[in-house]
Homo-oligomer: A and B are copies of this chain.
Amino acid sequence: MTQLAVTVDRRSPVPLYFQVAEQLEQSIMAGTLAPGTRLPNEIVLADQLSLSRPTMRQAIRYLVDKGLLVRKRGVGTQVVQSQVRRSIELSSLYDDLIRSGQHPTTTVRDLRVVPAPEEIADALSLAEKAEVIRIRRLRYAQDEPLALMTNYLPQGLVDITPEKLEQHGLYELLRAGGVQLRVARQTIGARSATVAQARDLHETKGAALLTMTRTAYDDVGRAVEYGTHLYRASRYSFELTLIER
């Protein structure tokens, strides 16, 4: 095992562990660190980079949590045998499409304040019939319809207009309004398209659709968004990485 192509800049404001993790990640993605490769042990790595062992461990743990490395006590740390595609993160469909080079556009079909139905009030921890903002949108990617989305937000969080929604993702607007999303709980299922859904999505009645409902929470634990979405299964799927421990 030779030296790794990693350097750290102690003047940088970027945390040391993160500089290391990012460079290792790039090497793995580029194939310089091939699947199956065993890394030197923590102590050696820490010495090579003049870091303390806990800091080196933090870098490695970051990549283990991402599913790029696996470690086994008494054995060592190795690169996982797989080319990784990007998997679900706490970002919106809009962000995902932008990143994957698609060209998302959005039509806002409805935006109004409504009394919260029981299910939504529950999910957002609001009093029943509290007023919430309801948004219905149709999302296109490369000029083909992709998803029908309905979202509910507590009032007063951020200023939302149809114009903004057609130019930005909902999560982008939330972040711009100072809302830091931290946790989301999702349920993914499937159903057959109704006539109206089929018409909107350019499918035929009965076509398989993916359903996703999500409640998102901010950095102080408040529920800030509830969404229920319908995706064309012919054009969309969810990828995820699971880690044991």
Contacts and interface: CB of A to CB of B under 8 A. Distances in A.
A69 B81 CA distance: 32
Nearest to A207: B192
Interface in A191-245: 191-192, 206-210, 215, 217-223, 233, 236-245
A16 interface: no
Interface stretch (A83-91, A104-112, A128-136, A160-168): A83-91
Interface stretch (A42-50, A143-151, A178-186): A178-186
B190 A82 contact: no
Interface residues of A, number: 59
B189 A242 contact: no
Given A185-B67, A219-B70, A242-B183, A191 B84 contact: no
Contacts of A186: 239-242
B221 A36 contact: yes
A12 interface: no
A36 to B, nearest CB: 6
A80 interface: yes
A1 interface: no
B221 A78 contact: yes
Nearest to A78: B221
**Oligomer copy total:** 2
A90 B242 contact: yes
B185 A221 contact: no
A2 interface: no
Contact of A190 (B54, B183, B210, B219): B210
B241 A184 contact: yes
Interface of A: 35-36, 54, 65, 67, 69-72, 75, 78-82, 84-85, 87-90, 125, 180-192, 206-210, 215, 217-223, 233, 236-245
21 contacts: A35-B221, A36-B221, A67-B183, A67-B185, A70-B220, A72-B220, A80-B217, A81-B221, A84-B185, A89-B242, A89-B244, A180-B244, A183-B243, A184-B242, A185-B242, A189-B233, A189-B237, A190-B209, A190-B210, A191-B208, A240-B240
Given A180-B244, A187-B239, 15 more contacts: A36-B222, A65-B65, A70-B182, A70-B218, A82-B125, A82-B183, A82-B217, A182-B243, A183-B241, A185-B239, A186-B239, A188-B237, A188-B238, A190-B190, A191-B208
